[in-house]
């Protein structure tokens, strides 16, 4: 890929990203302004009876809630342009810091779930397709369909009951042990706390990956070039490694990168069930308690994250698939 | 030397129509064929006459729902699925018809080397590339970068490096210009001259007549006649079977003379006691409708017909 083509591609992507971010923030802001949640009421909570109407108005004025929504949005957008994401109302910290702390929890959780579902799903799907119609194929499909129809929060509760309550092997919640000083928390502690949410998050992902991989590999196995490869004496693992893996690796990778958006959605539920202090939980809190700056920050951040995943899939194809590479290497011109 | 002998070969498929109704179709019902080392044998027939299935049956790569009847012997031994698995790519190789048979994500040099049975695949591959007039840089090309001619050379090179004794070419010349056809046929002739047996599956009688030694004519899943290619000459006086003769006389070079009977493709599904061609053959007698003709030895070949 030459520099001009590369530059053009990057500029196009940037413009798309900017318009996406603008659209997402406008829609989110509009939805929040129409939502019935009164931020002041949500903030005061149970002390509502003790706070007078005047005080409430003062709080609203302090937050700028007395102004019309369009004006509030423009002020927020102006601040964003200067890199100021504002302060979270519920955590009373800058939004950037709240996201920064929680991002690492979510990132490790999602990365673990992403890798687990990707690897297990790919292996299961490949095994099923290579034994198409056999007993292994049917059992893998059966398990996948069962898992696919299992809600992840229910699976999370089930995991909690078995591993945290009955067996007591793993902690039931939080990102770190409660009542332990921060400097005494080990990486092992963090991993132990991450295991159950990661399992809940990845198990439902496995079935989608496995079924997609299986279908894709079956299409590949039905192709002319597999027939020819078999006619040349290739079979079994050799056939899979030479032609199967090669032809399903790319679609599988791009599917996996594009699935980051679903992973984000799943993380919201999984973190809620396991009271895991990640971005998903913060999103739920911000939404329920009308914390507009935090919610907007989270939405922008997750948009960026998902966009990065999709772009990575796109770029990967261009770099790896010989059919998508630039034409300067195309020797047909000779 | 007799390399391959198919006797009374039939291939049928079972498929479900609706919930429980099973349907058996038999695209190949009576196929007899003998391949000799050093010879090119062409199996000629209209599309849908079951020619490609023959190639897949010899290699043992038919779909799982296919059932094979009769027998195929390779060098005198019955071909079992286990034996076929051992011989594929070693003793028997396929030359497929189009670029879609190449792995789209593998460089062409690698694909040829995968077929090579040698301690030094690279050396053998380079030799094959020189032989088939492929430039060195084609090695690094992916199938989408190849022209149709290059793809054909790649597949011919794969057959060459495999060193297989029996080469099965499935429709190697469709839609090709005359000089390309001639070049392709020359490759097969070279291989035959080296002692390989070549099975050429084609619907192009003209190129088969010029390039092959023996011709087996197929229709309705049957080999109706087996004869030397040289018998296809003049007005077809030396051709015994009415279908073969009609096929020969309908060629543009033979004045397009319309066949004596309109041999439409006979559906492979219909089963009757007699010759499947009886319904559209002008020479058909009452016997043809009641009794399936057997193979009858004639001069330098055989024919499956009561009327000839």
Residue B258: CA count within 13 A, CB half-sphere: 4
Could you tell me which chain B residue has the CA closest to the CA of A234?
Answer: B89
Mark yes or no for CB contact A242/B104 under 8 Å.
no
Q: pLDDT tier at B284 (50, 70, 90 boundaries)?
A: confident
Q: Is the pLDDT of residue A1 over 60?
A: no
DSSP reduced 3-state for A271: helix
Q: What's residue B268's pLDDT? A: 45
Structural domains in chain A plus CATH codes: 3-81 (no CATH), 96-333 (1.10.3720.10)
Separation between Cα atoms, residue A235 and residue B131, nearest integer Å? 29
Could you tell me which chain B residue has the CA closest to the CA of A245?
Answer: B105
Mark yes or no for CB contact A232/B103 under 8 Å.
no
The CA distance from A67 to the nearest CA of chain B, in Å, is 60
Are A102 and A275 in contact by the 8 Å Cβ rule? The answer is: no
Mark yes or no for CB contact A230/B88 under 8 Å.
yes
Q: What's residue B58's pLDDT? A: 92
Structure tokens at B61: 């790569």
One of 1.10.490.10, 3.50.50.60, 3.40.50.300, 2.40.10.10 is the CATH number of B2-91+164-303, namely 3.40.50.300
Mark yes or no for CB contact B145/A330 under 8 Å.
yes
Query: Which range is least confidently modeled, A28-42, A79-93, A173-187?
Result: A173-187
The CA distance from A316 to the nearest CA of chain B, in Å, is 15
| Chain B contact set for A250 (CB, 8 A) | 105
Cβ count near A199 (within 10 Å): 18
Q: pLDDT tier at A84 (50, 70, 90 boundaries)?
A: confident
Are A233 and A148 in contact by the 8 Å Cβ rule? The answer is: no
Q: What's residue A144's pLDDT? A: 92
Are A204 and A155 in contact by the 8 Å Cβ rule? The answer is: yes
Q: What's residue A321's pLDDT? A: 79
Could you tell me which chain A residue has the CA closest to the CA of B150?
Answer: A332
Closest CB to A232 among B64, B105, B158: B158
Q: pLDDT tens-digit profile of A254-282? A: 888 888 888 888 888 888 888 888 888 88
DSSP reduced 3-state for A246: helix
Closest CB to B114 among A232, A247, A322: A232
Closest CB to A233 among B89, B98, B141: B89
Separation between Cα atoms, residue B166 and residue B192, nearest integer Å? 9
pLDDT exceeding 90 applies to what percent of chain B?
29
Mark yes or no for CB contact B104/A230 under 8 Å.
no
Mark yes or no for CB contact B103/A323 under 8 Å.
no
Higher pLDDT, A204 or A23: A23
Q: Is the pLDDT of residue A322 over 70?
A: yes
Higher pLDDT, B268 or A96: A96
Cα dihedral A228, A229, A234, A235 sign: negative
Q: Is the pLDDT of residue B198 over 90?
A: yes
- Helix (H), strand (E), coil (C) string for chain B: CEEEEEEEEEEEEEEEECCCEEEEEEEEEEEEEEEECCCEEEEEECCCCCHHHHHHHHHCCCCCCEEEEEEEEECCEECCHHHHHHHECCCEEEECCCHHHCCCCCCHHHHHHHHCCCCCHHHHHHHHHHHCCCCHHHHHCCHHHCCHHHHHHHHHHHHHHHCCCEEEEECCCCCCCHHHHHHHHHHHHHHHHCCCEEEEEECCHHHHHHHCCEEEEEECCEEEEEEEHHHCCCCCCCCCCHHHHHHHHCCHHHCCCCCCCCCCCCCCCCCCCCCCCHHHCCCCCHHHHHCCCCCEEECCEEECCCCC
**Most A CBs within 10 Å: which of B59, B98, B103, as the mutation test of the A interface?**
B103
Q: What's residue A332's pLDDT? A: 41
Q: What's residue A333's pLDDT? A: 37
Q: pLDDT tens-digit profile of A197-254? A: 888 888 878 888 999 999 999 999 999 999 999 988 888 888 998 898 889 988 888 8
Q: Is the pLDDT of residue A330 over 60?
A: no
C-alpha pair distances (Å), B252 with each of B64, B114, B175, B178:
40, 42, 16, 14
Q: What is chain B's mean pLDDT, rounded?
A: 85
Q: pLDDT tens-digit profile of B38-95? A: 999 999 987 777 788 899 999 998 888 888 998 999 998 898 989 998 899 889 999 9
Q: What's residue A235's pLDDT? A: 84
| Chain B contact set for A332 (CB, 8 A) | 145, 147
Mark yes or no for CB contact A321/B105 under 8 Å.
yes
| Chain B contact set for A232 (CB, 8 A) | 88-89, 93-94, 114-115, 158, 162
Question: Per-domain residue ranges for chain B?
Answer: 2-91+164-303
Could you tell me which chain A residue has the CA closest to the CA of B160?
Answer: A232
Q: What is the DSSP string of A77-146?
A: HHHHHTT---B-TTT-SBHHHHHHHHHHHHHHHHHHHHHHHHHHHHHHHHHHHHTTTSHHHHHHHHHHHH
Q: What's residue A326's pLDDT? A: 55
Structure tokens at B195: 């002692």
| Chain A contact set for B145 (CB, 8 A) | 322, 330-332
Q: pLDDT tens-digit profile of A198-210? A: 888 888 788 889 9
Cβ count near A82 (within 10 Å): 6
Q: Is the pLDDT of residue A145 over 80?
A: yes
The CA distance from A231 to the nearest CA of chain B, in Å, is 6
Closest CB to B61 among A225, A227, A246: A227
Mark yes or no for CB contact A232/B162 under 8 Å.
yes
Mark yes or no for CB contact A231/B61 under 8 Å.
yes
Mark yes or no for CB contact A228/B147 under 8 Å.
no
Mean pLDDT of B290-297: 82
Q: What is the count of residue pairs from A and B with beta carbons less than 8 Å apart? A: 73
Residues with Cβ within 8 Å of residue B290, at least 6 apart in sequence: B273, B274
Q: What's residue A199's pLDDT? A: 86
Q: What's residue A319's pLDDT? A: 79
Separation between Cα atoms, residue B88 and residue B110, nearest integer Å? 19
Mark yes or no for CB contact A233/B142 under 8 Å.
no
| Chain A contact set for B103 (CB, 8 A) | 225, 229, 242-243, 246-247
Q: Is the pLDDT of residue A60 over 90?
A: no
Could you tell me which chain A residue has the CA closest to the CA of B62?
Answer: A227
Closest CB to B105 among A224, A233, A322: A322
Mark yes or no for CB contact A229/B103 under 8 Å.
yes
Cα dihedral B237, B239, B240, B245 sign: negative
């Amino acid at each position: 890929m030459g520099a001009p083509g590369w530059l053009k591609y990057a500029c196009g992507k940037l413009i798309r990203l900017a318009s996406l971010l603008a659209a997402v923030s406008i829609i989110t802001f509009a939805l929040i302004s129409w939502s019935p949640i009164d931020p002041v009421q949500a903030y005061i909570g149970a002390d509502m009876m003790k706070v007078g109407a005047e005080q409430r108005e003062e709080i609203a004025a302090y937050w700028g809630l007395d102004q019309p929504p369009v004006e509030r949005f423009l002020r927020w957008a102006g601040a964003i342009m200067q890199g100021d994401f504002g302060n979270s109302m519920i955590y009373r910290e800058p939004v950037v810091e709240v996201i920064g702390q929680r991002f690492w929890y979510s990132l490790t959780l999602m990365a673990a779930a992403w890798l687990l579902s990707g690897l297990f799903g790919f292996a299961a799907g490949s095994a099923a397709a290579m034994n198409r119609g056999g007993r292994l194929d049917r059992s893998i499909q059966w398990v996948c369909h069962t898992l696919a129809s299992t809600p992840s929060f229910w699976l999370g509760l089930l995991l909690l009951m078995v591993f945290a309550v009955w067996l007591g092997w793993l902690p039931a919640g939080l990102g770190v042990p409660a009542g332990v000083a921060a400097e005494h928390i080990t990486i092992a502690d963090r991993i132990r706390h991450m295991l159950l949410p990661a399992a809940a998050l990845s198990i439902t992902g496995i079935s989608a990956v496995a079924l997609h991989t299986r279908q894709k590999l079956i299409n590949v196995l039905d192709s002319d070039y597999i027939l020819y490869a078999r006619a040349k004496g290739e079979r079994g693992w050799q056939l899979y490694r030479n032609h199967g893996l090669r032809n399903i690796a790319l679609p599988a990778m791009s599917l996996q990168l594009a699935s980051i958006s679903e992973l984000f959605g799943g993380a919201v539920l999984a973190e809620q069930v396991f009271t895991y202090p990640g971005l998903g939980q913060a999103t739920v809190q911000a939404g329920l308690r009308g914390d507009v700056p935090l919610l907007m920050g989270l939405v922008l951040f997750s948009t960026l994250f998902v966009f990065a995943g999709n772009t990575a899939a796109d770029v990967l194809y261009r770099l790896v698939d010989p059919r998508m590479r630039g034409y300067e290497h195309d020797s047909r011109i000779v | 030397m007799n390399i391959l002998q198919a006797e009374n070969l039939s291939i049928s498929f079972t498929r479900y129509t609706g919930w429980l109704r099973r349907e058996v179709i038999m695209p190949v019902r009576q196929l007899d064929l003998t391949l000799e080392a050093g010879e090119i044998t062409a199996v000629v027939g209209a599309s849908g006459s079951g020619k490609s299935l023959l190639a897949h049956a010899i290699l043992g790569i038919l779909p799982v729902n296919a059932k094979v009847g009769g027998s195929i012997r390779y060098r005198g031994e019955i071909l079992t699925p286990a034996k076929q698995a051992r011989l594929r790519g070693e003793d028997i190789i396929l030359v497929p018809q189009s670029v879609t048979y190449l792995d789209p994500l593998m460089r062409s040099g690698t694909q040829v080397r995968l077929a090579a049975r040698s301690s030094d695949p690279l050396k053998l591959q380079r030799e094959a590339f020189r032989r088939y007039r492929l430039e060195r840089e084609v090695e690094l090309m992916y199938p989408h970068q190849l022209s149709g001619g290059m793809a054909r050379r790649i597949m011919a090179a794969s057959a060459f490096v495999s060193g297989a004794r029996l080469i099965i070419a499935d429709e190697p010349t469709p839609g090709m210009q005359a000089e390309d056809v001639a070049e392709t046929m020359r490759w097969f002739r070279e291989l035959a001259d080296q002692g390989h047996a070549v099975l050429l599956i084609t619907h192009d009688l003209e190129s088969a007549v010029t390039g092959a030694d023996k011709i087996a004519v197929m229709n309705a899943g049957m080999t109706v006649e087996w004869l030397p290619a040289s018998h296809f000459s003049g007005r077809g006086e030396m051709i015994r079977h009415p279908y073969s003769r009609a096929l020969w006389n309908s060629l543009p070079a033979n004045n397009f003379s319309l066949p004596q009977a309109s041999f439409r493709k006979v559906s492979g599904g219909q089963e009757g006691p007699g010759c499947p061609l009886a319904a559209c053959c002008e020479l058909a007698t009452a016997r043809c409708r009641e009794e399936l003709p057997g193979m009858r030895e004639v001069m330098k070949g055989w024919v499956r017909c009561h009327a000839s």
